[in-house]
């Protein structure tokens, strides 16, 4: 199988040829993706600019709603094909494709279509007389223009659609630069848009490439009005610098090192089991996963044992098996990175309560055993830096206030969790956590209508929900002079 680029309404080969995409569970070559070069990206940006400037796309809400609903339905018709690609290319456990890895993001396109159809695009502020001049004021919400969307490999459908959906619903045109590790997921969406929807030429452009520099090209180009980036905090800083030269709007969803706080009145074994499952899921490759488990000091040993038991029982396996929760890491490069952190954990004085490296019985695939690290404080690097693997670090706290202090002692502020029996105490802790999302006693914060994003170095802005939709809008004030008799 080979894929194409979608540029200006045409499926075209990449001028750089093709590059291989790899099954991370088997290390086998799945097929090839179009390898765009700088000229391809230039043409994609030009097409998006023309489609925004010279067509009625930005003003035709009914057309946008129609196209998004078409896309949702077309994706639904090909959902099993997309599911197979997602499991093979991403290494996503097939059970997760019925939720956040595929089905939920596809269904979420319906939410943004409904939102655009019912959104209040103009607001009458009424009459006033600034400087003595009778004036009627109207606030108008308009699309930003050309959106450059740069996305990662870990949850490609979720993140691609969380950008494409609201950006298009708001009236923007888009150039989507997909991650080199997961080009098929994006390219197949481009094919479906081209073959089965009425999106005008140039409104959506999908570019795949092995060259990371094309993301920088998209960020720097003055024809792009907004950059929506999801990825590492280090790359997010570079995006901000590059975008600053043309003063374009920037949305950033970056890293996390979120805390799962267990209060002393909680069901400790149940909490530790839930925390372990949350980190083992998709081999820990999620920015909002709660990778620090904060437990009462007096019961720390019990918590370590409970977490290790849970992690060991979860294990790892073939992502095509419906029982698998923890599949492979995306690449050998990512596995090497995680192994480096595991070595660092021992150097810093930690120990492995379970796991700690590659499984001995797996000759193929980029697998790491689900791992629990004990014996470290929040000062350790493995407790402060994003590992992006199935690794849970257990840290002791000395009460509610100390747990809040430890949780907030991080450059990140993306997510978090609090469990306990006394609701007043739980609420006290939750209200003091400097994070964008919080799971309280098992609550689920992920939903197309709910805003997602972080504090501090976890990013700028929100994705999904009304807040995420409005990231892609500008605000215009129209002031009309009033003269004569009405």
Give catalytic residue positions.
Answer: 253
| Residue 98 three-state SS | helix
Largest CA distance in the chain: 87
Token duo for residue 250 = 């920037």
Do 278 and 290 touch, CB atoms closer than 8 A?
A: yes
Token duo for residue 459 = 């990013």
Distance from C-alpha of 302 to C-alpha of 266, rounded to nearest angstrom = 13
Do 463 and 471 touch, CB atoms closer than 8 A?
A: yes
Number of CB atoms found within 10 A of residue 61's CB: 17
What does residue 2 show for φ and ψ, rounded to 5 degrees?
A: -130, 155
In 410-451, where does DSSP find H-type helix? 423-432
Token duo for residue 336 = 């090497």
Do 312 and 354 touch, CB atoms closer than 8 A?
A: yes
Tell me 238's DSSP state.
Answer: H
Do 431 and 411 touch, CB atoms closer than 8 A?
A: no
Q: Which residues contact 479 (CB under 8 A, 6 or more apart)?
A: 135, 136, 137, 138
Tell me 223's DSSP state.
Answer: T
What does residue 154 show for φ and ψ, rounded to 5 degrees?
A: -75, -40
């Amino acid at each position: 199988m080979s894929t194409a680029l979608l540029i200006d309404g045409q499926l075209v080969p990449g001028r750089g040829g093709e590059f291989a995409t790899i099954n991370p569970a088997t290390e086998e070559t799945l097929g090839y993706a179009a390898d765009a070069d700088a000229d391809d990206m230039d043409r994609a940006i030009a097409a998006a600019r023309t489609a925004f400037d010279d067509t009625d796309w930005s003003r035709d809400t009914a057309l946008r709603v129609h196209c998004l609903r078409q896309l949702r339905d077309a994706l639904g018709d090909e959902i099993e094909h997309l599911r197979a690609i997602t499991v093979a290319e991403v290494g996503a456990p097939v059970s997760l494709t019925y939720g956040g890895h595929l089905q939920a993001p596809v269904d979420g396109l319906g939410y943004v279509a409904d939102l655009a159809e019912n959104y209040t695009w103009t607001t009458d502020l009424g009459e006033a007389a600034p400087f003595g001049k009778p004036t009627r004021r109207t606030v108008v919400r308009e699309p930003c223009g050309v959106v450059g969307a740069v996305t990662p490999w870990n949850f490609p459908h979720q993140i691609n659609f969380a950008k494409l959906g609201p950006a298009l619903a708001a009236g923007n045109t888009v150039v989507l630069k997909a991650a080199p590790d997961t080009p098929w997921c994006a390219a197949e969406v481009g094919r479906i848009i081209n073959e089965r929807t009425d999106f005008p030429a140039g409104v959506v452009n999908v570019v795949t490439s092995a060259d990371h520099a094309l993301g920088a090209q998209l960020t720097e180009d003055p024809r792009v009005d907004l950059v929506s980036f999801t990825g590492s905090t280090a790359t997010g800083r570079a995006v901000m610098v590059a975008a600053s030269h043309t003063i374009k709007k920037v949305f950033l969803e970056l890293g996390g090192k979120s805390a799962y706080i267990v209060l002393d009145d909680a069901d400790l074994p149940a909490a530790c089991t839930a925390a372990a499952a949350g980190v083992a899921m998709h081999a820990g490759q999620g920015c909002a996963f709660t990778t620090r488990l904060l437990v009462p000091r007096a019961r720390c040993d019990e918590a370590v044992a409970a977490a290790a038991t849970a992690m060991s029982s979860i294990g790892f396996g073939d992502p095509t098996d419906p029982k698998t929760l923890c599949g492979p890491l995306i690449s050998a490069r990512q596995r090497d990175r995680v192994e480096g952190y595991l070595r660092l954990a021992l150097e810093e004085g930690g120990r492995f309560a379970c796991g700690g490296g590659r499984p001995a019985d797996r000759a193929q695939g980029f697998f790491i055993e689900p791992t629990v690290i004990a014996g470290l404080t929040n000062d350790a690097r493995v407790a402060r830096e994003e590992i992006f693997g199935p690794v849970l670090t257990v840290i002791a706290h000395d009460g509610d206030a100390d747990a809040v202090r430890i949780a907030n002692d991080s450059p990140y502020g993306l997510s978090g969790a609090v469990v306990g029996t006394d609701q007043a105490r739980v609420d006290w802790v939750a209200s003091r956590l400097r994070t964008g999302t919080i799971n309280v006693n098992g609550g689920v914060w992920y939903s197309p209508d709910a805003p997602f994003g972080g504090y501090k170095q976890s990013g700028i802005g929100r994705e999904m929900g009304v807040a995420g939709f409005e990231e892609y809008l500008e605000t215009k004030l129209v002031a009309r002079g009033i003269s004569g008799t009405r």
